[in-house]
Amino acid sequence: MSGSAPVLDRLPGDRRYWFLALGVLLLAWPFLFGSFWARIGLGALMWIGLAQSWNMIGGYAGYLDFGHGAYFGIGGFAAGIAMVQFGYPFVVGFALAIVVAAVLAYLVAVPTLRLTGAYFAIATWALAESIKQAALILEITGGTFGLSLPRSPDTFIGIAVPFAISETFFYYVMLLLCAATMLVTYVLFERHEFGYRVKALRDDQDAAESLGIDTTRVKRQVYVLSCVVAAVFGSVYAWYIVFIHPNDILAPIVTDRMVIMALLGGLGTLTGPIFGGLLVFLLQRLSSVFLGSSTFYLPLIGTLIMITVLFAPSGIIGILRGEIGRDDVRKNLKELGEKFDLL
């Protein structure tokens, strides 16, 4: 590692003031930049939260969940079914999304978390595909026609609220959910004993069990928590866009984006999904808006993934912390060149 100070340590002044300034900026964002950038900010906050939800099971616990996006769709459909099929307000659908996701996640965790590595990844991917196909044929989900949700002031809590259910409203809801997700991650995984147990089973499950850690229970708790967080964002997203279809909200790309964001940002870190989520989402959205292409960002993301895996396995946050320096890059380049006879 090079002798230069990490980027984060070179910030002038007290970091608390930087966080305070960031908080003020986020709170004032819709009023400073208008509806277009409020929409961009809303999407960025949602994907940061989703990336962090996957990071709980994939980064902190070390289980590659390739079906995590299914719970995003489950949350959306649970809220949608409650509102459309039974006429309940959104808050009831929101609560139902949490309950359904928690129960299903626990039932899935019992058999699948006995598996490891590629076997767990394949099992969760198969689960997600099964849920998607079921949603396409079930009448209650709208089948191939999808589901259209109502969005008016009286669909929030059952009575008319004195404010508009607008872009700005959903921005602040996503901001609240994203902040809550970060806070829960910080408290549970970075400061609480629970987080140390999770990291212990990730690093060496046998050693963790020899220390008296109930790894089965801990794995189930992490999995259920991560799935519930994804479902919470899915329920709000469904109400925001007012129309959901299994091919969209249950698409494999939802999980793929979570994985890429966490990987690029830094697995098993608090702030990694923030940097990875911002980078991937902004590349995708801005290339679509300003270049007229919704796929232009894909080769860029592919290149970034290759660079990250080869030269910065700890992700963007590792670079900012100074864990990866020029000497490390030179060493990795030399090893790569020798391996493929390029040098």
Residue 7 has pLDDT above 80, yes or no: no
Instruction: Note whether 149 and 273 are within 8 A (CB).
Output: no
**137: CB partners within 8 A, 6+ apart:** 143
Tell me if 121 is assigned to some domain.
yes
Q: Does residue 48 contact residue 56 with C-beta atoms inside 8 Å?
A: no
Ranges of beta strands (E only) in 202-314 are: 243-244
- CATH code, domain with 78: 1.10.3470
Token pair 């767990």 in the structure block, residue: 120
| Residue 28, in any domain of the structure | no
On whether residue 284 sits in a domain, the answer given is yes
Domain count along the chain: 1
Count Cβ atoms within 10 A of the Cβ of residue 139 and give its class: 0-12 exposed, 13-18 middle, 19 or more buried.
Answer: exposed
Please tell me the pTM assigned to this model: 0.89
Q: CA-CA distance, 141 to 129, in Å (whole number)?
A: 15
| Structural domain includes residue 29 | no
Q: Which run of H or E residues covers position 147?
A: strand 147-148
Residue 9 — very low, low, confident or very high, per pLDDT cuts 50/70/90? low
Q: CA Rg, the chain, in Å?
A: 21
pLDDT at 1: 45
Question: Which tens digit of pLDDT belongs to each residue from 14-56?
Answer: 667 777 888 899 999 999 988 888 999 999 999 999 999 999 9
Structural domain for 10, as ranges: 5-23+37-339
Which CB contacts under 8 angstroms, 24+ apart, belong to 105-111? 105/71, 105/223, 105/224, 105/227, 105/228, 106/220, 106/224, 108/223, 109/219, 109/220, 109/223, 109/224, 110/220
Closest CA to 267 of 90, 1, 54: 54
- Span 160-186, mean pLDDT? 91
Specify if 32 maps to a domain: no
Residue 30 maps to a domain: no
* 213-238 pLDDT, tens digit each: 999 999 999 999 999 999 999 999 99
